A and B are shown apart, each in its own frame.
Chain A
Amino acid sequence: MLTEWLGVGLLATVFVISAACQVRWPVEDRIRHWDVIGLLPYWNFFAPRPGVLDFHLLYRDEVADEQLTSWIEVRLMQERSWHDALWNPTRRSKKALLDAVAGIKRFVDAAPDGDARLSVPYLLLLTYVSAIPRGYAASKTQFLVMASTPASDAEPETLLMSELHEL
């Protein structure tokens, strides 16, 4: 009997909390802060503002004599394939890039004078770019995040350019 009510109570509690976290209010932030396992969803898929941007991650390196290479785009956003509807293994890493970019933007919006270099998403992108195998000796690297709006003729926009970091 006790386990029965514990089980029912657990499910009722999770449902109430997940419903309460669908609304923006101070309690939501506090609850989500403790949700380290990411259990509580945001159910507002692609709304109210739909994601109409493609993000591009580029990097360039400092090589001998402080020369900089050309920008190289990391091939994350390839054209989708028909079989993505069945099996789409790169979906999660693409989403991670999206999350990192959104995270940096949130960090900058929340603290315009803050140092984005200390944010987790910035460190994630820097770590990722730094580990890309190079066929040449490079001493420093720099990454660039750009956004394009495929449905318009607008030029891609620079969202963030990192500093040069030691490799």
Chain B
Amino acid sequence: MTLESAADAVAWTTCLTAISVALLATETLADRASHRDTGLLGLPVAQTRHPWLLVPWVERAVVIVLGYRALLTWTTLRLLAALALIALPLEPASRSITIAFLAGSSLLLGARTGFGMDGADQMTTLVLLALAVDALVDTPLARQAALWFIAAELALSYAVAGTAKLLGPEWRSGRAIWGVLSTRMYGVPPVGIWLRDRPWLSKLICWSVILGEGLFPLVFVVPPPVGWVLIAAGLSFHLGTALLMGLNTFLWAFLACYPALLWCAFGGRVV
């Protein structure tokens, strides 16, 4: 695949999003015990978060559509659909239906439980929504809208994250990076402790993240060489969070947005 047209950008984004979906699906199937009714990701308790979900007929319908067995079925179908998008030369109609299925099932499964979801899930769902609009409407305008939606959501995510970090004294001082990396949940404790003893390096990393994220939306207006620096910073950031924080799905979910971003920011000048 090249990146010489909007269709190429959509194809790359679709392939990378399918990898993200496949990864999420295999993780769900591997940790399926957590999704059982009594697990931390179980449906029955999560269903009590909205009174209307407990209306008898709604409750029954939700159990049928989103219960444990239904989740396993949806997840298996999503895995197969994602693999088909990655590996098979699908006809346009089959491809559109597959993308629409992934988008629809993502939206549906989002209603299952509010627990355990993260930004990678949401980014993947938003990208699939845009890809589904492109696939189903199938006009040049819809394609441009889908690509710009994905690129804009990516830029928004970085701008918000950078601004929020700038407002946090622990980020400005450099304490945040070693504090997070010292945890077992999101870090590698020896690395966190190592950074704690090197405050200048911690501060440098924190400010690099603040500036890299906060200035990222400039990618649309700066000359390409500067834009490439911002893009390299963004990709390095995701690689770092995957390696050090175990945020593996963020890598794929956000990487999938970059072909759209490259097309919107640089157009045909990217190759």
A, B: real partners: yes
A: residues with CB less than 8 A from B are 3-4, 7-8, 10-12, 14-15, 18-19, 22, 36-55, 77-80, 84-100, 120-121, 123-124, 127-128, 130-131, 149-151
The residues in B between 90 and 134 inclusive whose CB is less than 8 angstroms from any CB of A are 107-108, 110-111, 113-119, 121-123, 125-126, 129-130, 133-134
Of the candidates A15, A79, A87, which one forms a contact with B27 in the assembled complex, judged by CB atoms under 8 Å apart?
A87
Given contact pairs A47-B168, A151-B196, A78 touches B115 in the complex (Cβ within 8 A): no
Given contact pairs A7-B137, A11-B133, A124-B45, A50 touches B185 in the complex (Cβ within 8 A): no
Q: Is the Cβ of A54 less than 8 Å from the Cβ of B108?
A: no
Question: In the bound complex, what is the Cα–Cα distance between A55 and B110 (angstroms)?
Answer: 25
Interface size of B in residues (CB-CB distance below 8 Å): 85
Q: Is the Cβ of A43 less than 8 Å from the Cβ of B161?
A: yes
A-B interface pairs (CB < 8 A), number: 227
Q: Tell me, yes or no, whether B167 is within 8 Å of chain A by CB.
A: yes
Q: Tell me, yes or no, whether B179 is within 8 Å of chain A by CB.
A: yes
B: residues with CB less than 8 A from A are 23, 26-28, 30-31, 34, 38-42, 44-46, 48-50, 53, 107-108, 110-111, 113-119, 121-123, 125-126, 129-130, 133-134, 136-137, 139, 141-142, 145-146, 149, 152-153, 156-158, 160-161, 163-165, 167-171, 176-180, 182-189, 192-193, 196, 242-243, 246-249, 251
Q: Is the Cβ of B45 less than 8 Å from the Cβ of A120?
A: yes
Residues from chain B with a CB closer than 8 A to the CB of A41 are: 119, 122-123, 126, 157
Residues from chain A with a CB closer than 8 A to the CB of B157 are: 41, 43
What are 24 A-B interface contacts by the 8 Å CB criterion?
A: A4-B141, A10-B133, A11-B145, A12-B145, A36-B50, A39-B125, A39-B126, A40-B122, A43-B160, A45-B161, A45-B164, A47-B161, A47-B164, A47-B171, A48-B164, A48-B168, A48-B171, A50-B177, A79-B189, A96-B34, A96-B116, A99-B115, A124-B46, A128-B40
Residues from chain B with a CB closer than 8 A to the CB of A42 are: 119
Please classify the interface of chain B as helix (H, G, I), strand (E, B), loop, or mixed, using the class held by over half of its residues: helix
Quick one: closest A residue to B47, CB to CB?
A120
Minimum C-beta distance from A43 to chain B (A) = 4
Given contact pairs A38-B114, A44-B161, A79-B184, A15 touches B153 in the complex (Cβ within 8 A): yes
Residues from chain B with a CB closer than 8 A to the CB of A86 are: 242, 248
Q: Is the Cβ of A151 less than 8 Å from the Cβ of B193?
A: yes
